[in-house]
Structure formats: structure tokens, C-alpha cells
């Protein structure tokens, strides 16, 4: 008889294993072994399913053993492919695996865990939201956590998906089709993100239909003009990112339902005060928390003022980091605020609003009065 165990108890075991293993990825078999010491019997498939339902996928690695384990096909449990598995990556693609230092001050949020679930279920997630909310970085973070190469392609008005598979060139007087890095990427475990997808004209998105529906695309110029069908690797993950069209973002087109209908959607929210403090204290370890708290309070007051005044601009954690970087480099506080954030109003022809930004700064830093 299988004993009962609550989600809270499973998470507690997970946390204890993380600490004991120096925050390495935790495998289902490790949790199974701990449960066994408590007289609780759960198979690895069930454990993985429980953690996926909680939005916290586990590593899919198999428990090491000195003897090969023979499993009949009929006995193999049916389970969702886990995003944090062990993959064979060609040497030429390994340089594209994101490095740990790229995420030194990254704040993992619940929305990142949701994105991992989408990828684990082999969906085609679109991350959307205001600029600077982490919707692009979230895909790179998933690739980093999964140990997968990450490729970013930005959409634009002249974007043609087929061109990214290669192009015709002349070799010794003969026209040949030279395949691109995209071909290698889709034929191996990887994460491929198409950013700014709403900058791509809708009449140029039909190739994405075949790529997402059938996981293959026919390139007519390939194979020296004879055409070739390229198939996606089972562990090749395709994602998208966009800024929804609004009064502040007017450069894109709304995608039609025949494109959106093949995707899932993850909306990235603004960073909370707690998340901003967590990010800045991690990034700027040499600055005391009281000082960083004032920068955070100022930034949040600015974003609120922008919303209330309906200014046609978004600011993000990038601007907050810019201000702190300039201040730490020796610029006076007032100049750091101007160069890091408030001068953006000159760029959008709203110079009169700069005075209100400065008054907000004076309310935070009395020395500016």
C-alpha cells in the first residue's frame, strides 16, 4: 500500500536535499530514497508529476547503478518529458549554452517556473509584457537551468524564416546552398527564441505554422535547389516573445489567431519591491541596503507617476541598474538620476515632465533639496 505524503512535505524534502547538495539539481530518485526511509513508497514518475503540478519540475536524470536495469516497453511509465534532463550537445553548440555569470543577479520568479512547465510539456510559449519585465531573459534562464544552447532571433519587417536556414552561394563557380547555424540548432537539443514576433508582418508567419504544428519545415532552396525537409529534434524548444501593442508600444502588429492558436501565453508582470531589492542587493554587494532601498523607492514612485500621467514610455529594472551603476562610478546623485533615467523624457519629447521626476527624487533624498 502506498503511503500518503503532502505537497508541503515533498517541498520540505526538496529543500533539505538542495542544501545538502549545494543547490544542485535534485532528482526524483533522490526524493524517492528519502521517502523510503520514512516508510513512504512513491515511484519516480509520480514524484515528478507532483512537482510539475506544483510548478517546480525536477531533474530527469536516472539514479546511478552498477547493473543495467532492464525495463520492458509495456512496463515503462508514461510521463511528461522533463526539461531538466541530460542532453548530448555537439561541441560546436556548447559555446551557446548560457554561462552562470550571466545570471549572477537574476531573480527567479514564479513566472519563470511557469515558463519551464510550458517548455516541459513541449508547448510553444509566448512571453509578453512591458519592456524590462524579463520576458526575453526568462527563455535564456530556462536554457541555462536546462544546460541547453540558446539562440535568439529578433523579428523585423523583412524577416523571412527560410533565410535563417541558409542561403545560396557560389563555390568554385557553382551555386550551392550553404546551411546556417539554425539547421544545427533545430536538429539538436536547444532553446530557440523568436523575439519581437509582432514586428514580423503577418503574411511572413506562415512558415511558423509548419514549424510548430508539424515540427518540420521544407526549404525549397536547400539541397542545391532540389529542396529539403528539416525536422526538429524532440528536445528542440521553440519560444516567442513580444510587447503587446499599446499606446506605449506601437511598432508591432497583432498576430492572427492561426498563429496564436498554436501557442501558450505567459505574461511577465512588473517586478515587486521585494524582487527589486533582491536583485539590486545581489548585483551591488558593495552598496548598503538603506541606499539601495532609496533607489528602489524612487524607481517605484517614477513608474507610478508614469502610469498616472499616461506618459508614452516604459522604464524597467534596466534603468534602475543604470542609475545605481552611474552613482557607484562617481557621478553625483542628481546627474546619475538624469543620465540613468529622467533624460529619457527628452528622447520622447516630454522635457517638461523632468521637473516632476526631480521632485520625486527630492522627496526620497533630502540632500537634493
Instruction: List pLDDT tens digits, range 153-199.
Output: 999 999 999 999 998 887 777 888 899 999 999 999 999 999 999 99
Q: Are 262 and 124 in contact (CB under 8 A)?
A: yes
Cα distance between residue 53 and residue 59, in whole Å:
15
74 falls in which pLDDT band (50, 70, 90)?
very low
pLDDT in tens, 239-271: 999 987 666 666 678 888 889 999 999 999 999
Q: pTM for the complete prediction? A: 0.72
On the question of pLDDT at 274 being above 80, the answer is yes
Would you call 170 helix, strand, or coil by DSSP? strand
CA gap 249, 39 in Å, rounded: 57
Calculate mean pLDDT across residues 269-291: 93
19 has a pLDDT exceeding 50: yes
Greatest mean pLDDT among 21-30, 72-81, 215-224 = 215-224
Query: Which residues does residue 267 pair with via DSSP β-bridges, in sequence order?
Result: 128
* Residue 139 in this model has a pLDDT that exceeds 90: yes
Lowest mean pLDDT among 168-172, 242-246, 332-336, 347-351: 242-246
Angle at 199 between CA 193 and CA 200, to 5 degrees: 80
Average pLDDT over residues 270-296: 94
Distance CA 227, CA 211 (A): 16
pLDDT at 26 over 90: no
Q: Which is higher by pLDDT, 26 or 357?
A: 357
Q: CA angle, corner 336, sides to 280 and 350, nearest 5?
A: 110
pLDDT at 23: 66
Average pLDDT of the residues of the chain = 86
Residue 70's region, left for phi above 0, alpha for psi from -120 to 50, else beta, is: beta
Distance CA 255, CA 261 (A): 10
d(CA 4, CA 6): 7
pLDDT score for 85: 62
Amino acid at each position: 500500500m502506498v503511503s500518503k505524503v503532502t505537497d508541503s512535505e515533498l517541498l520540505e524534502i526538496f529543500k533539505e536535499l538542495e542544501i545538502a547538495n549545494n543547490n544542485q539539481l535534485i532528482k526524483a530518485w533522490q526524493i524517492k530514497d528519502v521517502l523510503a526511509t520514512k516508510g513512504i513508497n512513491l515511484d519516480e514518475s509520480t514524484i515528478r508529476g507532483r512537482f510539475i503540478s506544483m510548478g517546480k519540475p525536477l531533474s530527469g536524470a536516472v539514479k546511478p547503478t552498477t547493473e543495467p536495469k532492464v525495463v520492458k516497453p509495456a512496463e515503462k511509465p508514461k510521463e511528461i518529458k522533463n526539461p531538466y534532463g541530460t542532453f548530448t550537445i555537439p561541441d560546436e553548440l556548447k559555446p551557446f549554452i548560457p554561462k552562470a555569470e550571466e545570471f549572477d543577479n537574476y531573480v527567479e520568479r514564479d513566472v519563470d517556473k511557469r515558463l519551464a512547465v510550458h517548455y516541459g510539456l513541449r508547448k510553444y510559449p509566448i512571453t509578453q509584457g512591458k519592456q524590462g519585465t524579463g520576458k526575453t531573459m526568462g527563455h535564456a534562464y530556462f536554457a541555462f537551468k536546462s544546460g541547453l544552447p540558446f539562440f535568439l532571433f529578433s523579428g523585423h519587417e523583412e524577416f523571412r524564416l527560410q533565410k535563417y536556414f541558409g542561403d545560396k552561394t557560389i563555390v568554385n563557380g557553382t551555386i550551392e546552398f550553404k546551411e546556417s547555424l539554425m539547421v544545427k540548432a533545430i536538429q539538436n537539443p536547444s532553446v530557440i527564441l523568436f523575439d519581437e514576433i509582432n514586428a514580423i508582418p503577418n503574411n511572413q508567419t506562415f512558415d511558423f505554422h509548419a514549424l510548430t504544428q508539424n515540427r518540420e519545415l521544407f526549404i525549397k532552396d536547400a539541397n542545391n535547389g532540389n529542396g529539403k525537409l528539416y525536422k526538429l529534434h524532440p528536445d528542440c524548444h521553440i519560444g516567442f516573445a513580444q510587447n503587446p501593442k499599446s499606446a506605449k508600444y506601437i511598432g508591432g502588429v497583432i498576430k492572427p489567431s492561426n498563429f496564436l492558436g498554436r501557442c501558450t501565453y505567459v505574461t511577465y508582470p512588473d517586478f515587486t519591491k521585494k524582487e527589486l531589492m533582491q536583485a539590486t542587493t545581489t548585483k551591488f554587494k558593495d552598496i548598503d541596503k538603506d541606499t539601495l532601498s532609496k533607489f528602489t523607492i524612487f524607481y517605484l514612485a517614477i513608474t507610478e507617476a508614469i502610469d498616472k500621467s499616461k506618459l508614452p514610455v516604459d522604464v524597467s529594472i534596466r534603468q534602475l541598474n543604470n542609475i545605481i551603476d552611474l552613482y557607484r562610478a562617481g557621478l553625483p546623485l542628481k546627474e546619475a538620476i538624469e543620465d540613468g533615467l529622467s533624460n529619457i523624457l527628452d528622447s520622447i519629447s516630454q522635457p517638461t515632465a523632468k521637473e516632476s521626476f526631480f521632485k520625486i527624487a527630492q522627496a526620497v533624498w533630502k540632500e537634493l533639496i
